[in-house]
Structure 1
């Protein structure tokens, strides 16, 4: 059975990894004032967004996830011809409509795939499985990494789906923003009251940053740190501890909202890298998606791993 993977553009993974495993990307359209960007993890478009230096204007951007019709077109025009089963992984349904769109599209895909395949002399059934990773950005990465491993190992679809559901339920996505004013403005644009004006003012005045976590569909603060550099060091040191304690997927995914060359310069990153090397854990570094930067601001860090349930201690 030919099995494949599809993700939405907000799942932060390196372009080389996506190409190696032939992973399809469902794009997200970003409109900032009169400028439109197609977020499909294409590096050219990503650099165009960064080069425009939109700064504070991005908080008012409109993000339009891949529509039901676009998902249908991607599957019926391409994926049902290349694969017999596709696992489609999305960021948490509580923060994006893409999971709902893919689920709705799946009905039409499963209804019409036979005629699409017959035109190309293909027979046999087609399976489409949708997985909500229950977290976002780099936090969604470990589930995709595990999916690629299971497919390469020749596991059956039912076993893969069960395993991915378990990994999604135990995926931790962390985020460290740089600019609380930006984060509050974006939250206000989306009707999210999680970052209030007073907390943003106090946080900026005292240089206090929240450590946010996406876990099992819920997103919220799990700690506070003083200063972005100290916050990065705290997050990386904590993750190194989790790596040594043991992960469910031997991978840590990190994304950065800017020039990826700046990521290794952050305090504590060398210790995280050393811990991963010591424990045989792959460290996957990726630019943050345009969607991610629009929602949390440039210069932010997101990080993800999958582990048994535990209490976050910062």
Structure 2
């Protein structure tokens, strides 16, 4: 492809899609205790969940700019004429900033995009960019297609507790829910790249039911792709997915996948999330 696609490891794309489009994935790091581990290689979501449950300190860190610089050089060496580099919200991480720094020294034009998304909300932007590039799109066309998909995509999620988001400093205005955290099961959503409170629900079963209802309302009758994410809650995620298959009339593809170690470190075990992305 004339335009190469680079992203980071928080897109949580299926491996088949990464291979099919030749997408370069630059990993973030997870620090478990004193050990620095690479997402997608050295540490699994289950490892992070277990560490959190043992109250071991878990933090995350962005890639070094050199990791992006290497990816851009490799794209040039393969014959790419330009790169679109798509990343998780700059509100969550310095990853976007690291990519921008690397792009300044790249041997080819690099457009770095802050999608304001994460997980498969980011992943759908990456897939749209890759499909546009494969069809012969220019640098501007590829970046614009990804940005358009990002603007239309929404993500909603349920966490068993806000404690892990609080520890990681990623809670944003959802901090207002902390005082009643023991009495409610919070539903949150991504809005302008930030985690925002959506609803307070009294029980986990009701929260999960509302998560489904909100996803169905968001999808409407449009053609949509949907992802159900979880962290060590596979059975619950599959049950949600099965009901969404029956209740979303315009469903194109539905993917069920566990979030990786980086996002897992911030949301904790029991996460359930639904991403709705119009086609």
Give, in angstroms, the shift of residue 98 of structure 1: 0.5
Q: State the partner residue of 1:4.
A: 4
Structure 2-normalised TM-score?
0.87
Q: Does residue 137 of structure 1 match 2:119?
A: yes
Q: C-alpha separation between the residues in 2 aligned to 1:211 and 1:54?
A: 24
8 A Cα contact 1:12 1:255, kept in partner: no
Give the 5 Å matches for 1:158-173: 158-173=140-155
Give the 5 Å matches for 1:266-277: 268-275=240-247
Q: State the partner residue of 1:16.
A: 16
Give, in angstroms, the shift of residue 135 of structure 1: 2.0
Deviations along 1:124-162, one digit per CA (max 9) or x if unpaired, are: xx3322111112223222212222322233333222222
Unaligned regions of 5+ residues in structure 2, if any? none
Q: C-alpha separation between the residues in 2 aligned to 1:20 and 1:260?
A: 26
Q: Does residue 254 of structure 1 match 2:228?
A: yes
Q: Does residue 222 of structure 1 match 2:198?
A: yes
Q: C-alpha separation between the residues in 2 aligned to 1:47 and 1:287?
A: 8
Q: State the partner residue of 2:256.
A: 285
Q: State the partner residue of 2:181.
A: 203
Deviations along 1:98-134, one digit per CA (max 9) or x if unpaired, are: 011101110111xxx2xxxxxxxxxxxx332211111
8 A Cα contact 2:3 2:138, kept in partner: no
> For 1:300, which of 244, 247, 271 is the aligned residue?
271
Structure 1-normalised TM-score?
0.78
Distance change >3 Å, CA 254–CA 68, structure 1 → 2: same
8 A Cα contact 1:237 1:272, kept in partner: no
Q: State the partner residue of 1:147.
A: 129
Give, in angstroms, the shift of residue 255 of structure 1: 1.8
Give, in angstroms, the shift of residue 48 of structure 1: 6.4
CA-based RMSD of the aligned residues comes to 2.7
Give the 5 Å matches for 1:21-60: 21-39=21-39, 41-42=40-41, 45-46=43-44, 49=47, 53-56=50-53, 60=57
Unaligned regions of 5+ residues in structure 1, if any? 114-125, 309-314
Q: State the partner residue of 2:237.
A: 263
Distance change >3 Å, CA 274–CA 284, structure 1 → 2: same
Give the 5 Å matches for 1:60-71: 60-71=57-68
Deviations along 1:244-297, one digit per CA (max 9) or x if unpaired, are: 3325xx4222321126455213xx432212345x42421122220101010111
Q: C-alpha separation between the residues in 2 aligned to 1:232 and 1:139?
A: 19
SS in 2 for 1:281: strand
Give, in angstroms, the shift of residue 65 of structure 1: 0.7
